[in-house]
Amino acid sequence: MIRFLANLCFAGSFLAFAIGTLGLFRLPDPYTRLHAVGMGDTMGVGLAGLGLLLVSPTWALRIKLLTVFVLFWTINPTMTHLVAKAGLIHGVRPAEGTKVIKGEG
Amino acid sequence: MLWLLIGLMILILFVLLRAIIGPTVIDRLLSINAISTKVSVIILLMAFIRDDYGFIDVAFVFVLCGFVGGLWILRVMTPGDWQLRLPGLGGFEGEGEEAASND
C-alpha cells in the first residue's frame, strides 16, 4: 500500500517535470519559460520528496530529507526571481505585446 | 523508482537541447538551473535505490553548490548595482505612458 502511494507520487512528480520541460519548448519568451520551469520543478521536487518520505525506513532519514527539500523550496524560487531580474537588467526583451506594470519604486 | 530516474535522464536531454538552441543567455541559465534540480532528484533516488543513504548529504552539497555557481554567473553577467530602474531598462521601453508618468 505504501509502495503504491509512493509510486503514485513518483508518477505525479514525473508528470510535473515533463510539463515544465514541455513549457520550455512551447512558450514564446524567456520569462514565460522561466515561469514554466520554476513551477514544474518546484512541484516535481515536492511530489518526489513526498514519495521518498513514504518509502524511507527511519525517522533520521526523514528529517534529513525534509532539510534537503526545505532548501530546495527556498533556493528554487529565489533563483528564478534573480534570473528574471538579471535578464531585465541585461536587456533581454519580453515577447511582443507585453505590458510593463510600474511599481512604487 | 528506477523508471523515474530514467525518465529524468531523458528530460535532462531535452533541457540540454534548449540550452544549446536557446536564443538568449537567460535560456541557458534557466537550463543550468533545471538540470541542477533534476540531477539532485536523481542523486536522492539513487540513495534509495542502492540503500546507501550517504548520498542524501551529497545531494545537499550539490544543491548548495549549484545555487552559489548560478549566483556567480548572474553577478558576472550584470555588472553594477542591482537597482531595477524601469525607464532605463537597457533597450526595453514600455508602452510610453509609463515613462511619461515617471516622477
Confidence of residue B36 (pLDDT cuts 50, 70, 90): very high
Cell numbers that stand for A92 in this block: 533581454
Work out the average pLDDT over B26-55.
Answer: 91
Higher pLDDT, B30 or A93: B30
Give the pLDDT score at B39. 94
| Contact criterion met (CB < 8 Å) for A87 and B24 | yes
Give the pLDDT score at A12. 94
Give the pLDDT score at B81. 63
Q: Which of residues 12-41 of A touch B (CB under 8 A)?
A: 13-14, 17-18, 20-21, 24-25, 30-31, 33-34, 37, 41
pLDDT per residue as tens digits for the range B75-100 = 887 766 666 555 545 444 444 444 44
Would you list the domain boundaries of chain A? 2-90
Q: Mean pLDDT, 10 residues at a time, over chain A (105 residues)?
A: 91 94 89 90 92 91 92 91 84 75 58
pLDDT per residue as tens digits for the range A24-46 = 899 888 889 999 999 999 999 99
Give the pLDDT score at B91. 46
Alpha carbon A80 to chain centroid, angstroms: 9
Work out the average pLDDT over B11-32.
Answer: 90
Give the pLDDT score at B85. 55
Q: Are A25 and B14 in contact (CB under 8 A)?
A: yes
Q: Are A53 and B45 in contact (CB under 8 A)?
A: no
Distance CA A67, CA A52 (A): 13
Distance CA B75, CA B57 (A): 27
Interface test with A, best of B76, B92, B101 (most A CBs within 10 A): B92
Q: What's the burial of A29, exposed, middle or buried (CB within 10 Å: 0-12/13-18/19+)?
A: middle
Please name the residue of chain A whose CA is at the shortest distance from the CA of residue B98. Answer: A102
Q: Which of residues 49-88 of B touch A (CB under 8 A)?
A: 53, 56-57, 59-60, 63-64, 67, 70-71, 74, 77-78, 80, 82, 84, 86
**Does the CA dihedral B7-A33-A82-B18 come out positive or negative?**
positive
Please say if the pLDDT value at position B101 is more than 60. no
Contacts of A37 in chain B (CB under 8 A): 30, 33-34
The whole-angstrom distance between B28's CA and the closest CA on chain A is 10
Residue B36 touches chain A, beta carbons under 8 Å: no
Give the pLDDT score at B73. 86
Please say if the pLDDT value at position B61 is more than 90. yes
| Contact criterion met (CB < 8 Å) for A37 and B30 | yes
Candidates A7, A10, A57, A75; CA nearest to B56 is: A57
Give the pLDDT score at B93. 45
Please say if the pLDDT value at position B5 is more than 60. yes
Q: What is the number of alpha carbons within 13 Å of residue B40 lying toward its C-beta?
A: 31
